[in-house]
Chains A and B, each alone.
Chain A
């Protein structure tokens, strides 16, 4: 199948190969439907992605491109070189995930909507890292939440959780 265009909700087009696009299960499913209705020789397909803005979509597609490149590399590399490929993949992902909390929010929502399992796992792990080891007030500060439990409710929860804190 030829390249396709993914169009963000603010009108930006991203031309990518169909095989890369299929890393998103949502897009893969859409493509399947489109192929069924139009056939494989159809003109350039434009797939609107209404829930994702341009910069987030670009970031998601960066991941997909890189993921595909790593997959190809893994397939082409002899067994002895596999650890090195894995190391490179991890290093790239660490750099990739150096994003602000706001960007992370958009990214996780996009990964969820587009159903890109690898990226979704990365994002949820990163969000869990933001929570891990923090006190409730630190978590609130990190995610911009306001306390909305009454002191009585707080006490009640604390009492209920004594078993876990002992």
Chain B
């Protein structure tokens, strides 16, 4: 089991309300990603669920039981930290066995579980090493191993890949996703990297200034952003947001068009001059200074051969324009 429910959860540090009022349900077995810019409260929310911070008001239920006042160890959750938080004075074996030792398990049982976790995470040959003798990826696997052996009702990940290099991040991302598919345990994952969010999540929770902006599947958020913030945050490169007369033509205060939904088309409604042109082989990223609108990002095919200073015409794809009202919310 691993259903987590937050009811009117509020967290303040002094006079500052970091999380004003959050209601959220995470279903058993879901992979939920909290995403948002730095300081949006996503890590605080995770720490509230973990019990490492006390809520100022509201209730946290784990599997239908009120866990608001339970200490972290009693919540049946396991956490993987950004800095790995391994015990430097213990071997990998002892690190992984530590939660089992705290639970009063016999040494034979501990060893069996440690071996099993080490096998899943390819750590068997490193069991007698200290964390200082391991690479970043191996350390993160030890941290995950320490979480796995507890057989928690949910895993909490606090930006676990941000200390790794780009290549390792991609492979660890896949490993965590595979782990979720194997264990089928609830996972809550905090990141500011929306690519991680899009690739890993069953459900994304977009946070901004302590409030939930939108909850939905990755593609739901991509295709139907609820407001300007989500529209600008989800998707890479970012969605082009256009206000003023051009938006008014579509009956909106702001309109949004993703870079990949703008075609380079002779006779298109928007004309402009190419400012920057990045050729990646598979794609070409263009910054085009469009007359009367401003700078637009365009994602074109790899064969496009436009260069700095070239004139071009652009056309948004039909049905791909997102419309937002004066309050920033999406218009039907």
Q: A and B from one assembly? A: no
Q: Which residues of A contact B (CB under 8 A)?
A: none
